[in-house]
Amino acid sequence: MKRKIPLLITFTVGIILIISEFIPHKPFGQLSGELEIWFLIISGFAILLGQLSLFKVNILKIKYKQRDWQFYTITLISFIIMVTLGFLWGTGKSAGMLGQGEVISNILGYKPFDYLFHNIYQHLQATMFSLLAFFIASAAYRAFIGRTVESNLLLVSAVLVMLGNTTLGSLLTGWLPESLNFLHLPKISEFIMTFPTTAGQRAIMIGAGLGIIGSSLRIILGIERSYLGGE
Amino acid sequence: MKKYLIFLFILYTCFLFSQEILLNIKDKPNDDGSALLISWDTSQIISSKIIIERETSDGKFITITSSEEPIGTFEDGSKIITGIRYEYCLTAYDSNGEIIQITRTTGESSAQWFNKDKISLLIFALLITISIVYYIFSARSGKHLYIRKIAGLESMDESVGRATEMGRPILFIPGTLDLDDMQTIAGLTILRKLAQKAAEYDAKLIVPVCRSMVLSTAKEVVKEAFMKAGHPDAYDPNSVFYLTDDQFGYVAGVDGIIVREKPAANFFLGAFYAESLILAETGFASGAIQTAGTAMPSQLPFFVVACDYTLIGEELFAASAYLSKDPHQLGSLKGQDFGKAIFIIVLVIGIILEISGVHFLKDFLTLH
């Protein structure tokens, strides 16, 4: 029964949702949206599990003084501070237990929660995102080292695309006559991005789409049961 | 004389008719009856602005739209109920804001039982579904099905073995999207196989997740895998844990784990966005053997560059069937291949027809 009931629910809901894609009439037309709301409600409850997991794992690491345990303390303290401030004075336009906190808001310019969000959290987020620039450089360096025919092709096309997107690229081939305009670097760059790149991406997307159909059918028909934790 | 008078009368009537505003209310096709299509043509009069109003249940008129165009269409989807006849009023104004003409008409919406715009989708879905089901039954009857080798999945033993030899953990990331994304589910099905192997080899597994729903499922999957491997005692409930829902907060957390724990093998299997390269490059720097897989075309180049093995698009979804060696699941992969063949044929025919100036196939396949 532990297996059969979830499989039955999956099969029924899966088939109804497939049918509803082609039937706009009520109640089928609204089913997809309704189930998304159900998912959000269940996710809301599941968030509690996530928070409990976060606490448990971090407290255990602090308790047993694992390596770098101080960092886990910072995580927990930050979590408690943000939750407390949110509860006391709310966030955005919503009030907390102590109201809108006008006095503090006047001093800080924001509510305490929002103040920390805008002045610490967003900067930390931007810092992590900025790392991407350096990682792209290091990854590109490895990718562009010409070792095989494929990597040489990648190197050539990457150089053409990069040059084509800079003013230097326009300058380099700007002297070409009108009849050789197709060799103008920005044109070559545009061609590479519009045709080979898009074609490749679409091929991957078609394959992935078929993969999703196959996986969905396996799950709906009960052939694939790994997500239930069993065979 | 009589004929002449009749001719003049008809001519006068036509003239009067030609001065009228055309206001049409039609049911929006292929919908659930929640919208009406309004079209107007005021080109026969010189108006600078038109306002269209709809009568409410209490007899008042509310403005639906206004336009300065003489000909136009508008979709009224605001609180339209199926089976109720709505009255619309179009008022045309001149450049001084004076009313030139008022036209009224009524319309009623209805819900359809089949969306004709999606007939091509239905045909393709049926074709692919039938082929998948056919190959599943073929596999069940014992027919041998050839499936090409997927290097990224073949390397799983190598990765787990390496982690065991080095005494370091295995890191598994099931993407950054929730359980309603197929890539996450595909990632979790691979996690099950990986957890089973980790249990057999007695290797430590770390699964940080960024969605609470994924946490519950991943815990269950890993627990069952350890039980199936015959090592339920080796299962550590804290090996699967939640970090944060925030994209870059999660990346910071995982990067920290990679730097501190130095996993011997990293698996990034699921849906990824900008975090893909940050994770993969940190893993590369730590010297781990890395396997990635996603169906996000924009993230695949990053994984290809930074990881040892990459499952591209469909390979991620095929992983579960490939690893299980179950004939039913392998049959479904064959069905997918048949679907690919259909796509290739339709693409080639479509290209030929478009070059020839015949557009019916493109029009038929376009979803509105």
Complex ipTM, two decimals? 0.88
Chain-wide mean pLDDT for chain B?
A: 90
The string over A156-190, giving b where at least 16 C-beta atoms fall within 10 Å of a residue's C-beta and e elsewhere, is ebeebbebbeeeebeeebeeeeeeeeeebbbebbe
pLDDT tens by residue, A101-113? 899 999 999 999 9
Of B24, B53, B52, B25, nearest in space to B110 by CA: B25
What are the C-alpha distances in Å from B177 to residues B28, B57, B181?
A: 35, 45, 6
Inter-chain touch B332–A47, beta carbons under 8 Å: no
CB contact under 8 A, A129 and B314: no
The A residues from 88 to 117 touching B (CB cutoff 8 Å) are none
Given pLDDT bands bounded at 50, 70 and 90, which one contains residue B51?
Answer: very high
pLDDT digits (tens, 9 = 90+) for B234-284: 999 999 999 999 999 999 999 999 999 999 999 999 999 999 999 999 999
CA distance A174 to chain B (A): 31
Q: Position of tokens 């339709």?
A: B346
* Alpha-carbon gap, residue B214 to A43, rounded angstroms: 10
User: Going by DSSP bridges, is the β-strand pair B85-93/B99-108 parallel, antiparallel, or unpaired?
Assistant: antiparallel
Residues of chain B found within 8 Å of residue A36, distances taken between Cβ atoms: 180
Look at residue B218 and tell me whether its pLDDT is greater than 90.
yes
Of A29, A43, A227, the CB nearest to B212: A43
Residue B102 has pLDDT above 60, yes or no: yes
Q: Where are the alpha helices (DSSP H) in B155-292?
A: 156-166, 182-201, 212-228, 247-261, 275-286
Here the tokens at position B357 are 């100036």
Q: How many other C-beta atoms can be found within 10 angstroms of the C-beta atom of residue A4?
A: 9
What pLDDT, on a 0 to 100 scale, did the predictor assign at position B15? Answer: 47
On whether any CB of chain B is under 8 Å from the CB of A196, the answer is no
Report the distance separating Cα B90 and Cα B22, nearest Å: 9
Q: What is the pLDDT of residue B9?
A: 59
CA distance B300 to B110: 45
Q: Which residue of B has its CA nearest to A51?
A: B242
The tokens of A193 are what? Answer: 């991005």
User: B229, B250, B232: which is closest to B241 by C-alpha?
Assistant: B250
pLDDT (average), residues B324-337: 84
Tokens at B182, concatenated: 């197929």
**Interface touch A223/B300, C-beta < 8 Å:** no
More confident residue, B96 or B204: B204
Instruction: Give per-residue pLDDT as tens, B113-168.
Output: 999 999 999 999 999 989 988 888 888 888 777 888 888 888 899 999 999 999 99
Q: What is the pLDDT of residue B145?
A: 79
Distance between CA atoms of residues A1 and A13, nearest Å:
18
Q: Rounded to two decimals, what is the model's pTM? A: 0.86
CB B290 within 8 A of CB B306: yes
pLDDT exceeds 60 at position B330 = yes
Q: Which residues of B touch A204 (CB under 8 A)?
A: 295, 297, 300, 312-313
Cβ–Cβ below 8 Å for B321 and A142: no
Cα separation, A8 vs A188, in Å, equals: 55
Provide the 10 A C-beta neighbour count for residue B26.
Answer: 13
If we measure between CA atoms, which residue out of B288, B150, B151, B274 comes closest to residue B206?
B288
Give the mean pLDDT per block of 10 residues along chain A (231 residues).
86 91 88 88 89 92 90 94 94 91 91 95 94 89 79 88 91 90 92 94 92 90 76 53
CA distances from A223 to A98, B117, B177, B347 (A): 54, 32, 24, 31
Lowest-confidence pick of A27-31, A71-75, B6-10, B182-186: B6-10
**Which whole number is the average pLDDT over B10-37?**
75
